[in-house]
Structure 1
Amino acid sequence: MIERVKTLIVTAHPDPDSLTHHIARLLEQMLLPGTVELVDLAAEGFDPRFSLADRHTYRVGGDFARDVSAEQQRLDGVAHLVLIFPVFWWSMPALLKGWIDRVFVNGWAFDVAAEGGMKRNLVNLTTHLIPVAGDDAGVYDRHGYEQALRTQIEHGIIDYCGSRRGLTMFVYESESEDAPAREHAVLSAVTAVRQFIAK
Structure 2
Amino acid sequence: MSRALIVIAHPDQRSLTHFVAAELETAFASQGISSEVADLAAEDFDPRFTRDDRSSYQGLRAIPDDVTAEQERIDRADHLILVFPVYWWSMPALLKGWVDRVFVNGWAFELTEGGSVAPKLAGLTIHLVPLAGSDASAYDRHGYRASIKAQIEHGVIDFCGARRGSMRYLYDSETKPQAVITDEVSLLARDIAEGARESLSEATAAKL
- Whether these two folds match at TM > 0.5 is yes
Matched to 2:184, the amino acid is A
- Secondary structure of the equivalent of 1:46? coil
CA contact (8 A) 2:134 2:173 kept: yes
Q: Deviations over 1:107-141 (max 9, x none)?
A: 10000012212210000000000000111111111
**Matched residue, 2:24:** 27
**Matched residue, 1:169:** 168
**Matched residue, 2:51:** 52
**Matched residue, 2:184:** 185
- Secondary structure of the equivalent of 1:31? helix
Deviation at 1:165, TM superposition (A): 0.1
Runs of 4+, deviation exceeding 4 Å:
none
> Does 1:198 find its partner at 2:168?
no
**Matched residue, 1:152:** 151
Correspondence 1:1-199 to 2 at 5 A: 4-32=1-29, 35-60=34-59, 63-199=62-198
Matched residues in 1 for 2:117 and 2:181: separation?
43
Matched residues in 2 for 1:131 and 1:62: separation?
35
- Secondary structure of the equivalent of 2:46? coil
Matched residues in 1 for 2:24 and 2:60: separation?
34
Aligned length: 196
Stretches of structure 1 lacking an aligned partner (at least 5 in a row): none
- Aligned identity (percent) is 48
Matched residues in 1 for 2:134 and 2:183: separation?
16
Matched to 1:22, the amino acid is F
Matched to 1:12, the amino acid is A
Q: Deviations over 1:27-66 (max 9, x none)?
A: 1012127711111000000000000111111111861001
Q: Deviations over 1:128-172 (max 9, x none)?
A: 000001111111111010111011000000000000000000000
Over the aligned positions, Cα root-mean-square deviation in angstroms equals 1.3
CA contact (8 A) 2:9 2:84 kept: yes
Q: TM-score normalized by structure 2? A: 0.91
Matched to 1:27, the amino acid is L
Q: TM-score normalized by structure 1? A: 0.95
- Secondary structure of the equivalent of 2:38? strand
Deviation at 1:196, TM superposition (A): 0.8
